[in-house]
């Protein structure tokens, strides 16, 4: 396999007859339905699906222009077509204000693109007969519980990987974010989370269930999740630069820096330790290594030497619909050719201009990744960025459109306009959450009345103190969640965090008093789309 790196871009289109043969092989042996009436499946049309040198060079220029327009500090892109790497390159810089360039070896957090690794790790155990997809989770984790007794008793390994536990999207994520809890402790605490849907009735994206999947891997193999991923996937696939913990990047020079993204700039922020949720989003990788990962998926579980790491049958299962994802009206308008969406085992699925897309996105504190493949045509794109923008989505679809010869135009401006609109809406949410709506002169009670220790059975303890006349709040499970409480009206205070966080900014804390004028609880409202502070039920301790 020839990997084309840095500024040198070489291409070699797949010959039409070879591609036609590959399509026939996929159709006949891996379970893809054959439909000779579908234009995208006809051997005579196979020559349509290739990108020549001129197209790749044009796409390369477009990517750099798009990066500059979006003001993204740096990103890397890999495009593969079967056993060829058409593009593997870095753009921009690793950190705003510095000069070190991004290349295709630069490490980024891939975040939730890790989920397919966890699914394939379990698939290996299924192939070895040590596990069944439909094994009850409690067979391997007897201590595992959900608040719904039915779900606790009946949830299967397969359910962990397709977001149908009944929990709402991102429910409980504050349990792992910045806290010292182990995956087992996180899952044991999460038993108090109330389901949003009946068990298996709806799609609710759950990082916690992938933590359980990681625990299943360790329980069966005797190896921690990271060690299993390293020895059974990263090493055989020669993904030599990839890491499964940020603790492994000490001394590694070629690493991108996370950035918090604003409308007009991106500011560097510290790396966040995600070890406690590594099975859901802990891998760091490069464009070069992710090219190998996509090719492994295209080869249906074989490494570059033809050795089977995961059977074709298991790879096929991971890419089959398990949970239906509603197609929103907004998405339908943006992508009219998408009629169905679903989630497989660690993969998101959708139809697009007659082909099946398999991919995933990933969001880390200060980095986003995007991956999209057309397995039946052997084509894949991955984008890794050190910003919190959907530029990756624009790039992968631009490449897909070029490959499929879809006249979609320049996707960059459409995505950028929508991103800016969403950021403005987010700023308005924060403004409303911290708006002083009642022109009173002082809080309802003396500031000393708001001081105390509060406990949430789900999360842990919080403490309010009075320092130099200022009321302060600290969530003790993650000590850096510390803020000044700036009075707004009555018993409501604006939250002014001492530290800059990637996912949120300000918010409000509302104290609830009992009939004896004692502050009995705190309700937190911190507008964001990822971490649900409203799930914290903080009750005052005696």
Mean pLDDT calculated for residue range 196-211: 97
Chain segment 325-344, per-residue pLDDT in tens: 999 998 888 788 999 999 99
Residue 1 in any domain: the answer is: no
Residues 406 and 527 in one domain: no
Q: Which of 380, 395, 426 is the last residue of a domain?
A: 426
Residue 176 near residue 215, CB atoms below 8 Å: no
Q: Is residue 433 part of a domain?
A: no
Give the number of other CB atoms < 10 A from CB of residue 65. 13
Same domain, 373 and 254: yes
Task: Point out the least confidently predicted range of 239-253, 397-411, 462-476.
Answer: 397-411
pLDDT in tens, 99-144: 999 999 999 999 999 999 999 999 999 999 999 999 999 999 999 9
Looking at per-residue pLDDT, the higher value among 409 and 342 belongs to 342
**Statement: residue 159 has pLDDT above 50:** yes
- Domain presence at residue 198: no
Distance, CA of 229 to CA of 117 (rounded, Å): 7
The whole domain housing 510 covers 447-540
Boundary-marking domain end, from 426, 459, 486: 426
Tell me the CATH number at 457: 2.40.128.600
**In this predicted structure, what is the pLDDT of residue 113?**
98
The pTM score is 0.90
CA distances from 162 to 246, 402, 464 (A): 26, 30, 39
Question: Can you list the positions of beta strands (E) in 355-447?
Answer: 355-364, 367-374, 379-385
Q: How confident is the model at residue 48 (pLDDT cuts 50, 70, 90)?
A: low
Structural domain tally of the chain? 2
CB 298 within 8 A of CB 316: no
Average pLDDT over residues 13-42: 35
- Is residue 484 located within the same domain as residue 374? no
**CATH code assigned at 94:** 3.40.710.10
**H or E segment and range at residue 231:** none
Does one domain contain both 264 and 324? yes
Say if residue 245 is in the same domain as residue 329.
Answer: yes
Phi, psi of 220 (to 5 degrees): -85, -45
Cα separation of 105 and 87, whole Å? 13
Q: Do 490 and 343 lie in a common domain?
A: no
Q: Mean pLDDT over residues 442-471, rounded?
A: 95
470 in any annotated domain: yes
Asked if residue 229 is part of any domain, the answer here is yes
Q: Is residue 441 part of a domain?
A: no
In a domain, 377, yes or no: yes
Predicted confidence (pLDDT) at residue 373 exceeds the cutoff of 50:
yes
pLDDT, tens digit, 9 for 90 and up, residues 416-427? 999 999 999 999
Of 4, 111, 18, nearest to 57 by C-alpha is 4
Residue 330: what pLDDT?
Answer: 85
Residue 237 has pLDDT above 50, yes or no: yes
Do 420 and 453 belong to one domain?
A: no
Instruction: Report the pLDDT value the prediction gives residue 25, as an integer from 0 to 100.
Output: 32
Residues 343 and 459 in one domain: no
Q: Is 422 in the same domain as 452? A: no
367 and 461 in a single domain? The answer is no
Do residues 493 and 386 share a domain? no
Question: 482 and 381, same structural domain?
Answer: no
Instruction: Establish if 530 belongs to a structural domain.
Output: yes
pLDDT at residue 82, rounded to an integer: 86
End position of a domain, from candidates 391, 426, 461: 426
Residue 36 scores a pLDDT above 70: no
Average pLDDT of the chain to the nearest whole number: 90
pLDDT tens for 7-22 read 333 333 333 333 333 3
């Amino acid at each position: 396999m020839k990997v084309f790196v840095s500024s040198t871009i070489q291409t070699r289109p797949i010959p039409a007859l070879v591609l036609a043969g590959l399509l026939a092989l996929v159709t006949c042996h891996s379970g893809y339905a054959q439909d000779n009436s579908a234009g995208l499946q006809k051997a005579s049309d196979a020559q349509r699906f290739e990108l020549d040198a001129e197209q790749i060079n044009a796409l390369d220029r477009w990517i750099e222009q798009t990066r500059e327009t979006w003001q993204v500090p740096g990103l890397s892109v890999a495009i593969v077509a079967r056993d060829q790497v058409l593009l593997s390159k870095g753009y921009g810089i690793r950190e705003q204000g510095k000069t070190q360039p991004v290349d295709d070896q630069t490490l980024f957090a891939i975040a939730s693109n890790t989920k397919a690794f966890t699914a394939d790790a379990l698939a290996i155990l299924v192939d070895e007969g040590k596990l069944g997809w439909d094994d009850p989770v409690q067979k391997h984790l007897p201590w595992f519980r959900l608040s719904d007794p039915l779900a606790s008793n009946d949830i299967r390994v397969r359910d962990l990987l397709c977001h149908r536990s009944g929990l709402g999207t991102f429910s409980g994520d504050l349990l792992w974010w910045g806290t010292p809890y182990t995956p087992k402790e996180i899952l044991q605490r999460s038993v108090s989370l109330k389901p949003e849907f009946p068990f298996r009735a709806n799609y609710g994206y759950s990082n916690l269930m992938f933590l359980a999947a990681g625990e299943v891997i360790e329980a069966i193999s005797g190896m921690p999740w990271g060690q299993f991923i390293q020895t059974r996937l990263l090493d055989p696939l020669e993904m030599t630069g990839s890491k499964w913990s940020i603790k492994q990047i000490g001394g590694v020079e070629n690493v991108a820096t996370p950035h918090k993204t604003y409308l007009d700039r991106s500011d560097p922020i510290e790396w966040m330790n995600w070890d406690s949720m590594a099975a859901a989003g802990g891998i760091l990788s490069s464009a070069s290594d992710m090219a190998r990962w996509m090719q492994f998926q295209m080869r249906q579980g074989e490494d570059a030497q033809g050795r089977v790491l995961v059977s074709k049958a298991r790879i096929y299962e991971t890419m089959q619909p398990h949970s239906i994802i509603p197609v929103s009206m907004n998405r339908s308008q943006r992508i009219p050719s998408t009629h169905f969406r679903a989630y497989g085992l660690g993969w998101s699925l959708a139809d697009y201009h007659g082909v099946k897309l398999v991919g995933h996105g990933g969001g880390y504190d200060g980095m986003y990744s995007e991956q999209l493949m057309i397995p039946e045509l052997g084509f894949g794109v991955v984008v890794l960025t050190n910003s919190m923008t959907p530029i990756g989505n624009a790039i992968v679809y631009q490449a897909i459109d070029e490959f499929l010869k879809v006249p979609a135009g320049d996707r960059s401006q459409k995505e950028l306009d929508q991103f800016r609109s969403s950021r403005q809406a987010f700023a308005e949410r924060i403004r409303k959450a911290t708006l002083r709506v009642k022109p009173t002169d002082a809080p309802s009670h003396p500031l000393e009345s708001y001081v105390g220790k509060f406990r949430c059975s789900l999360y842990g303890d919080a403490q309010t103190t009075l320092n130099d006349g200022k009321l302060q709040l600290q969530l003790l499970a993650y000590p850096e969640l510390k803020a000044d409480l700036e009075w707004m009206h009555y018993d409501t205070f604006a939250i002014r965090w001492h530290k800059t966080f990637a996912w949120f900014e300000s918010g409000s804390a509302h104290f609830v008093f009992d009939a004896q004028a004692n502050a009995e609880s705190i309700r937190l409202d911190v507008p964001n789309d990822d971490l649900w502070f409203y799930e914290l039920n903080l009750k005052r301790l005696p």
